[in-house]
Structure 1
């Protein structure tokens, strides 16, 4: 089963433009995924200090850079092609602010923590671009952000890929039993299981043996799928209880 959804444009943080796939009215989450933002931060805007608890977040940058600080004592700069992960657990306070004079674009994804892990100690991890595995074949470049031998580790079983397709190329992704997820179109037009999708649109799938992504022209998609926890996702702004 595949359902199509479109991200909504809005403002978040301090003047940050986001295309939000979830949570939005009528589509709150997709267990185990809680939030998905395609964000663009312009100089002078960003995400000043704010709290979180109860989930994990991955911020991945297409371009630009951001500086992260938190109440654990971490202070680091994430650059283009790199990522950061925090486990909010029982609580963390952090900020993400642009570190350049040009716009910074990236994706932020929240993944729910199961009830038994809601009160774990908070953690932070940064992974630079060169640390990720990249596989290229038949005009398709796949960067493995989570899964396989990726150094970026979270507490929920997911697979998370950045897929760049050249003109007239395609990728078939086998999906293990019990996994569900989505494909988000970041740039360019694609087909997903032979249906057309444009930038900002996504295909949410469940009970699929495989998904097939095709492109007549250059395109970029993000693919994320994982094992649902089967627990209610109760979100109040920055908190997921």
Structure 2
């Protein structure tokens, strides 16, 4: 599959390749992550959770989180009564805004695997009303051509647009390339972008670049778009492409909160401890 113009005058290259290391591991939960801040992205992680484990009730404020299931199912329930179950291929868009308290637990048998991306909010929107939206796999737009399948989770690719609304303009695409396939994907030139390899092995940016395999995070430099090749004769390549418009604002991330200053972070912890300003009665879940 090729975009309308694959001859990028300014092609994006891989400027940094990192292995997403295991940050937390237990008998039932494995968390593998990277990307502390790459404007507008705050954090990215792949999780693997065995039933009946999960993440107990915890607070968030000041950002949006996207949870996308690769295998199994996950249940996310907040203190206000929202309960959403996302299965393989489903996505949940959570706007923490001024404050939410929720739990995330496995909802499928065996291993439940997904990814979660934290997206910064503009400072003027940090304290908006919290919101949750689940999008089922069947409602996610998909295009297939010339050995390439792309699922458009957020943003637009090849003339197909996602139904998801993003407070911060964001692109989130799930690509699968059959053996020997190539894709050229345009990315808005001012936006930051990176790739996470889910399965297989591929070449990103330029034909003679070193290949990248499962669990690699690839930060892309500036340019009009990125080209990807699956050189394998047998194995498909699956990768996630994230891109977002930089906010270019001060940001401080500590624990479950993302704010614009250290003072606001301290106020967030104080609000949560005192059950106020968006964290009223968090124990009543």
Aligned equivalent of 1:202: 217
Partner of 1:167: 179
In 2, distance between residues paired with 1:187 and 1:63?
Answer: 13
Partner of 1:185: 197
Matches within 5 A, 1:209-228: 209-215=224-230, 216=232, 217-228=235-246
Runs of 4+ in 1 over 6 A off after TM superposition: none
Q: What RMSD, in angstroms, separates the aligned Cα atoms of the two structures? A: 1.5
Q: Deviations over 1:118-158 (max 9, x none)?
A: 11110010000000000001111000000133122220111
Aligned residue-pair number:
236
Write out aligned runs for 1:23-102 (5 A). Answer: 28-102=36-110
Q: TM-score, normalised by structure 2?
A: 0.80
Shift of 1:176: 1.8
Give the whole-Å Cα distance in 2 for the aligned partners of 1:82 and 1:100: 13
Equivalent residues of 1:13, 1:48 under 8 A apart: no
- Unmatched 5+ stretches in structure 1: 23-27
Relative to structure 2, which stretch is displaced further, 110-119 or 40-49? 40-49
Q: How does 1:3-42 map to 2 (within 5 A)?
A: 3-11=16-24, 15-22=28-35, 28-42=36-50
Contact 2:63 2:119 in 1 (8 A): yes
Q: CA deviation at 1:12?
A: 6.9
How far apart in 2 are the matches of 1:17 and 1:106? 11
Runs of 5+ consecutive residues of structure 2 not aligned to the other structure: 1-12, 260-285
Residue 80 of structure 1 and its aligned partner are, at CA, apart by: 0.7
Answer yes or no: is the 8 Å Cα contact 1:58–1:85 preserved in 2: yes
* Contact kept in structure 1, 2:86 and 2:134, CA below 8 Å: yes
Cα deviations across residues 50-97 of structure 1 (Å, max 9, x unaligned)? 100000000000110111110232112111100101100110001110
Bigger CA radius of gyration = 2
User: Within 1, Cα distance between the matches of 2:163 and 2:55?
Assistant: 26
Q: Distance in 1 between matches of 2:80 and 2:181?
A: 44
Structure 1 contact 179–206 (Cα < 8 Å) conserved: no
Report which of the two has the higher share of strand.
Answer: 1
Equivalent residue number for residue 117 of structure 1? 125
Match of 1:25 in 2: none
Distance 1:97 1:21, change over 3 A: same
TM-score normalised by L of structure 1: 0.94
